[in-house]
Structure 1
Amino acid sequence: MQLTTRRLLVAAAVVVTVACVCVAGFLGYRYNESRLSEQARDSSLAAAKGYATTMFGYTPDNVEEHVAQSKQVLTGAAKPTYEDLVTKNNLVSEVQKQLVVSEVTIQDAGVVTNTADTSQVLIFMNQSVTRGGKELVRVDPSRLTFDMVEQDGRWMITGIDVITDDSFRSRIEQTDTPPPGAVPLPAPSAPTSPTPAG
């Protein structure tokens, strides 16, 4: 009887130890995953702010350098879209010819969603533009999102979406029909009248 009890205690101790090791391993993995995701959120946000400032802020002296720097952080669908925009508008030559100065002020920015190696960042910025050294021509408040992916330790932009008032309205367009799978709200219940005690 003594031997059997001892074996049961040893077996129970082994089971508890294995369970503790499994739980500790799982919790350690989840903690590390969460920590990496948080680091990615911070680093992608900082990168996106810098990229927006470089991409949309320039002077006649640095526009060529800013366009080249912006192209280096673009990949996927964002790269040909940006190159097409720069080429169609003759951005570099027009900025130099018209002495355009574009200053960017990031009003606010935040990460919409992210994982350890992907991120979507929403940026609110003001772009003030002057031409030919004259007084301020215009200030454009802008909202944009950068879809980003981390490649070889560097955040790259895979998508750029400039959000205008019209594009925002179309995304939240009201319809009279409920979306598929929607459950209607329950009807309000009729008020109950107190029953006299009797």
Structure 2
Amino acid sequence: MSDKEPTTVEDTTGDGDEATEAVSEAAEVTESEAVETSDDAPDTKPARRSARVLVASVVVALLMLGGSAGLAAWLYYNEYRPDKETDPAAAQVALEAAKTGTIALLSYSPESLDQDFANAKSKLTGDFLSYYTQFTEQIVAPAAKEKSVKTAASVVGSGVSQISADSAEVLVFINQTTTSKENPDGAFAASSVKVGLTKVDGNWLIASFDPV
């Protein structure tokens, strides 16, 4: 029994070495084949990278386009429009509104009081409109009818002192002639008024009327 044991051990060791070598060779072959397969397969990384770059470029372009549109809109509403609404042409519109409104306020005749007052009120707004309505109904109309008071106003000078997109202030110089039963020859007066304007639905209306 003891003579056969060494032989058995030696044979087992030999078989193990052969098995190990076979496994190693198989592993090397597999690794080699894997390398060759990897080398032979087309490289898809550049294509994927190019696709990502293209998508990113499109997204950036869209964002820039949207940003440009947003910037253009912001500039229009916050820069261009206010400039257009306060340029010399816009100031001239406000100036004309102040002049025609002033003449309407200070000119009336006993024969056409209702029409004259309605014309004046169409050029007013806010609290001043309420004040004018009450003042003409309670004071001016009764006096004009009783004493035949007639007034005619003209603007001899005017200028815009302040203006923004929806408000303006105009200085108006006025000549006014008033006749009545007691003074048929008329009385002449010169005055100046600071006219405050507010833009309502695109139209300049008088919101205040203060002597200066």
Whether TM exceeds 0.5 here: the answer is yes
Q: Secondary structure at the match of 1:40?
A: helix
Counterpart position of 1:170: none
* Distance in 2 separating the partners of 1:27 and 1:117: 18
* Structure with greater proportional helix content: 2
Q: Residues 7-46 of structure 1, C-alpha deviation per residue, up to 9 Å, x if partnerless?
A: xxxxxxx9xxx9xx79x95887645432221233111110
Confirm whether residue 59 of structure 1 aligns to residue 109 of structure 2.
yes
- In structure 2, runs of 5+ residues without a counterpart are 1-60
From 152, 174, 177, the equivalent of 1:128 is: 177
Q: Residues 49-102 of structure 1, C-alpha deviation per residue, up to 9 Å, x if partnerless?
A: 11111110122222221112222232222122212322341x123213322221
- 8 Å contact 2:104–2:116 — kept in the other structure? yes
5 Å matches for 1:52-131? 52-89=102-139, 91-131=140-180
Which TM-score applies when normalising by structure 2? 0.58
Q: Secondary structure at the match of 2:111?
A: coil
1:101 partner amino acid: K
- 8 Å contact 1:37–1:115 — kept in the other structure? yes
5 Å matches for 1:143-162? 143-162=192-211
The CA RMSD over aligned residues, in Å, is: 2.6
5 Å matches for 1:141-180? 141-163=190-212
- 8 Å contact 1:37–1:114 — kept in the other structure? yes
* Distance in 2 separating the partners of 1:134 and 1:75: 34
Confirm whether residue 40 of structure 1 aligns to residue 98 of structure 2.
no
1:92 partner amino acid: A
* Distance in 2 separating the partners of 1:74 and 1:124: 19
Which TM-score applies when normalising by structure 1? 0.62
2:144 partner amino acid: V
- In structure 1, runs of 5+ residues without a counterpart are 1-13, 164-198
Equivalent residue pairs, number: 143
Q: Give the fraction of aligned pairs with identical amino acids, expressed as a percent.
A: 23
1:46 partner amino acid: E
Q: Residues 144-192 of structure 1, C-alpha deviation per residue, up to 9 Å, x if partnerless?
A: 12211111122122212122xxxxxxxxxxxxxxxxxxxxxxxxxxxxx
